[in-house]
Amino acid sequence: MDCFTDMMLENTGILGMIGKAERGQATTQSIKKHKASYLIAVGGAAYLISKSIKKAKKIAFEDMGMEAIYELEVKDMPVTVAVDSEGHNIHSIFQNIQVVPTKV
């Protein structure tokens, strides 16, 4: 869906998106440009995450099923900010960390 992100943010006023994968550089820049955000959810935790959704309304692309755009009302949703409104990307931050092996 990265190829549609800029168009969607430009034309809809979406404040944030939720997914489970890393977004590309162009998408990260689009998120920054539109002061939006991208939240990541842990894969396999759909049931836990769904419990935090209090209200859901399809607002666009209804024929696309789970890829449709929903307006959500949530409470205590267990997600992590992956790309904030200034373009800081958790994936690129942790790419540069070197893991030092420890002897056991």
For 79, the token pair is 């997600």
φ, ψ at 11 (rounded to 5°): -105, -5
Q: What region, left, alpha or beta, does residue 80 occupy, with left being phi > 0 and alpha being psi -120 to 50 degrees?
A: beta
The pLDDT tens digits along the chain (104 residues) read 788 899 989 998 889 999 888 898 999 999 999 999 999 988 788 888 889 999 999 988 899 887 888 999 999 999 999 999 999 998 887 777 777 888 87
Q: Hey, is 44 helix, strand or coil? A: coil
pTM: 0.79
- The domains of the chain, with CATH numbers, are 2-95 (3.20.130.10)
Asked if 60 contacts 14 with a C-beta cutoff of 8 angstroms, the reply is no
For 39, the token pair is 């939240």
Asked if 31 contacts 87 with a C-beta cutoff of 8 angstroms, the reply is yes
